[in-house]
Structure 1
Amino acid sequence: MAERDRPTRPIDEARALHPRTGTSTGVMDAGAVENAGAKPGSESRAVRRPSRMDVQQAAPLRPGIVVAGRYRIERLIGVGGMGAVYEATQVAIQRRVALKVVRADFAGDAAMAARFQREARAASAVHHPNVVMVHDFGQDEDATLFMVMELLSGESLLQRMRRDGSLPPREAVRIAIEVLGALEAAHEAGVVHRDLKPDNVLLTEAFFPGAGKLKVLDFGIARIVDRSGQTGGAQQRQSDAGLTEVGQMLGTPRYMSPEAVARLPVGPAADLYALGAILFEMIAGRPVFAEREPVILMGHHLRTPAPRLRDSAPSGLYVPRALDDLVDALLAKLPTERPNSAAVVRKTLLDLIADPLAFDPPPEEVHAKIFTPPPDQVVKPEHFVRGRSPLWRALRLVPVVLLVAGIGTMLYFHRLRLEQRRAEEQSRIGVIAHTPTPAEEPVERRVEHVRITLTGAPESARFTWDGAPIEGPVFDVPFDGLSHRLEVSARGYRARQVDVIADGPHQLDVSLERARRGAPRAER
């Protein structure tokens, strides 16, 4: 690195922001630890806004400098306590990337270098569409450590919750399913995140479930574990000890598992506890424990039973009982009392979201809320027996009889409408209900595949589904409710890509535009 320059202004200290839109790029400072409400002067590590000196030390590169002979600096994206993040171009293939560089004054810090290297190792060990991709890691000729990641833009889940407040349960569950996909891949690779929180979940632009548009970030304090779920090896534990100073707590108190608070070995169950806290906060609109003092907050995680989600959700928001029970299990104090794995939790949520009526309140709960009067308005029998004659008493009972009859009629037609809606929804998603006979029990059978019909494509068109060739224009794909990439190409035409969610039959118009002379055409 031959030349240094002072940036014009500091940018967000914990998460890099897009220079034009101000949205998060997905690149975070690995050393940032959130202590909500920490008082000035306390010993808790809190993210602070960098001073001018911090910016000069952390972001000394200017546009045009080439790092390691491969990455040309384009612009400064963000500055954190550990270093700076730049938008850069990989010169050989002209790919835009995010380049994270350690501060110059940390160049000789062995512990900081080890943490930076561990972040790169942990993130690169996990291969999943919902995990930020690490392309390269190395050291420049002047001993500056750098890491190269995919360049992202969007907003964090924390920003989304601050803007919208409580999220609808169905949307929260879809987000949790995507996060669980990343956790499942990480745990299978032997990596425990240890700092999962809304600020480390990035909703990229055009986010929708199943398309890999949600990214789990910041493996800066991740820990490598063995297949049993315990911390891996004496060398790993010694390395972790070297990265943890006396009195320093790794993680974010609001989402920290009880075993992490107690400084016990952590495994995949710690990430599931954090996921339960995030899911609770997305739906309830508030954290599991709302204390702002970190020490008191961590004490609650250790000793105070978590409140039930159904009791904490905003008024009028229906939370399925199965979801309430799952969140309660995720927030169990003992790791052994939580679900066995991220795969188990993900399957439970997939089964829940596959039910078209799971997030609609059952008729009995709707009627209980509508027709149950307050205690001071309950009509007592003696109110109807104070007439002057038997005829008068009978006449006073007529409104009561009419009211009961009207309520019964409303209940009947409401239940009838729900049954009709259930039949329509089941027909749409491919659930076939077998009519029971007197000799057999009712059976439900789920269709394993859905049919995709393509129209408008040239006769010579070729089709791929998630990169694999398929025979078209009519084909069947597995029913999984996730998004898949369909590509249509033909010689002499411009290739076309379409995202398709495999949640039911689809008929798509995939007409292709003829390629102009000199324009790139579809590959043969």
Structure 2
Amino acid sequence: MEKLLGKGGMGCVYMGVHPGIGSRVAIKFLHPQFSHDEKIVDRFFNEARAVNVIGHDNILKILDLNVTEGHRHYFVMEFLHGRPLQALLRHNVSVPLDVAGPILLQVCDALEAAHKRGIVHRDLKPDNVYLITMKGKKNFVKVVDFGIARMTDDAGISTGKTQTGMVMGTPAYMSPEQGSGASNKIDGRSDIYSLGVMMFQLATGRLPFPGSNFGEVLIGHLQVPPPPPRSLNPLVPEAYEPLILKCLQKKQEDRYASMKELKHAIEACMDQLRISKELPHSDDTDTDTQLHPVEVRPPSFPGARTPGRATGPGSKNRISNPNARPGGARPATRPAPGATARISQPPTRLTPAPQPQQLGRAPLFAGIGVLAALALGVGGFVVLRRSDAPLASAPVRAQTEIVRQEETPVFLSVVSEPLDAQVVATWKDGEKRGAAPLSLEVPRNAKVHFEFRKSGFIDYAMDVIADQPQTVQAALKAVPRPPPPVAEEGSERRSQPEKRRKRDRAPKVPDGVVDVLGDLK
């Protein structure tokens, strides 16, 4: 072993070199404090078992697994040199379909192979999709980290099943059935949902359900309809948006039935848009120049932590966007969440930018995170900016953006606790009715009046100023139950003798079985 590449809560990864042939590998060790826990050891080796069963070129290869004399459990993996897909998303840029499409098709291939063998990944996210150069082609996919993969009965692998009610995965990308702890319902369509979150993020530069804590994110996955990607980034192809939204359906049966079906839908969309499905050559730099922030768009997901202006008694029930900056101001040189990437002329200089904090649990695989940092330098990602761009045009662009914001409708998501409350939303020249959760578009800065009704609960009303996309949530109170009648003093004592007299006057029923005519059997 040459050096430590990374540590995690369960283990650590070292780079190793074969002493005879000099080939590099990555070695993952389980922390010694877990070596006597059979369930943890089984889960640790679960990744090696799963990958060995699947055997696909787009999945990280596991070469060996064993236990040292000192009772240290480990397995050996191929050494990857490249970057995780997350590297393309760290600055909230959108990734055009001609770059994202070939990557997504490979992910579909890898997961389709896993699902055919009865294996569900359960932690699909950009950090677990690694991009390397293979045979002169860039962006060759390696799906990694099957450590919490679920083996169905078809997998043919003896392993403990997840306990019902246990939530496993990364909150930002987990399916509704994962978030609710319904482990018995998890199947390949759960991975399709997670891939849908990735597709949304690649298309818009942001997550469909951001949040400052697990509860906020979970509410989004379980109740809130995702905002249409084109409402956040108009450059998303119109033919592509329905594919993303179908993957993000709350009910499994409403999503694509398989990764193969999703792959065919992506291919058909790319064919319709005349987008090549081929991977770029390793010496092709065009794919990198397409990833850079440009026009700042308003916060796009339901509810900004920059407080919106809710009025009336319902203001305390409104959830705000946790991603927005207080005051709404942002430096012009930094992209806002939801910013899209576009450039009119080729860039002439690369400017490194610092890495922001990432959502979700830290990944641990084959030295991947460390290798990405080594490959990309300290910044890990670059923001491309034309150094000779005229600065004087900035105010004009800002004024144009303000006008565009005023003309752009605002997307509102409406949820209720409990679910399925009947909602009536009214604003000037508009109205929408339906059962929560629901979504609607209204004119920017419109005053929207909401009424919530549900049997057994007190009606609730609130007003919201639609100055930005947001989530409107109402927690209804149950109708108080009337108190039980109070018996008059002494009535209970008087009723007991009366009950005994009625019992004594009742006809005696003989022991045994009586037929319908009353004769004793």
Normalised by the length of structure 2, the TM-score is 0.49
Looking at both structures, which has the greater relative contact order when contacts are Cα pairs under 8 Å and sequence separation is at least 6?
2
**Which protein is richer in helix relative to its size?**
1
